[in-house]
Amino acid sequence: MVKARGSIWCRLMAVVPLIIFAQAQAEDGITKDRILIGQSAGFTGSVGGAVKEQKAGAMAYLEAVNANGGVHGRKIMLESVDDGFDAKKTAEVTRQLIEDKKVFALFLFRGTPNTEAAYPVAAKARVPLIAPSTGAQSMYSPPRKYLFPVRASYHSETTAIVNHLVSLGITKIAVMHDDGAFGKDVLAGVQKAMQEKKMAPSSVASYERGTLKVEPAVKQIAADNPQAVVIAAAVDSAPAFIAQMKAQDRSPMFFTLSNLSANSFVKALGPNVNGVVISQVSPYPFAVTTPISSEFLKAIKGRDMTASYAAIEGFIAAKVLVEGLRRAGPQPTREKLIKGLESMARVDLGDISVTYGPDDRSGTTFVDLTVLGKDGQFFH
Domain ranges of the chain: 34-152+288-365, 154-280
Strand partners, 178: 207
Let me know: does 83 contact 89? Beta carbons within 8 Å: yes
Q: Rg of the Cα trace of the chain? A: 23
Compute the half-sphere exposure of residue 269: CA atoms within 13 Å on the CB side of its CA.
Answer: 25
Q: What angle do CA 197, 203, 208 make, to 5 degrees?
A: 125
Closest C-alpha among 273, 256, 250 to residue 372: 273
| pLDDT value at residue 21 | 45
Cα–Cα distance between 258 and 251 in angstroms, integer?
21
| pLDDT value at residue 11 | 57
| pLDDT value at residue 20 | 46
Task: Examine domains 34-152+288-365 and 154-280 and report if their fold is the same.
Answer: yes
DSSP notation for 156-187: HHHHHHHHHHHHTT---EEEEEESSHHHHHHH
| pLDDT value at residue 24 | 45
| pLDDT value at residue 1 | 44
152-193 tens-digit pLDDT: 999 999 999 999 999 999 999 999 999 999 999 999 999 999
Cα–Cα distance between 47 and 60 in angstroms, integer?
20
| pLDDT value at residue 177 | 98
Q: Would you state the CATH architecture of domain 154-280?
A: 3-Layer(aba) Sandwich (3.40)
133-145 tens-digit pLDDT: 999 999 999 999 9
Mention every residue, 6+ apart, whose C-beta is less than 8 A from residue 9: none
| pLDDT value at residue 5 | 52
CATH 3.40.50.2300 fits 34-152+288-365, yes or no: yes
Cα–Cα distance between 63 and 287 in angstroms, integer?
22
32: phi then psi, degrees, rounded to nearest 5: -65, -20
Single-letter amino acid, residue 291: P
Single-letter amino acid, residue 217: A
| pLDDT value at residue 380 | 86
Cα–Cα distance between 86 and 106 in angstroms, integer?
17
Low-confidence stretches of the chain (pLDDT beneath 50): 1-4, 12, 18-24
Cα–Cα distance between 129 and 73 in angstroms, integer?
23
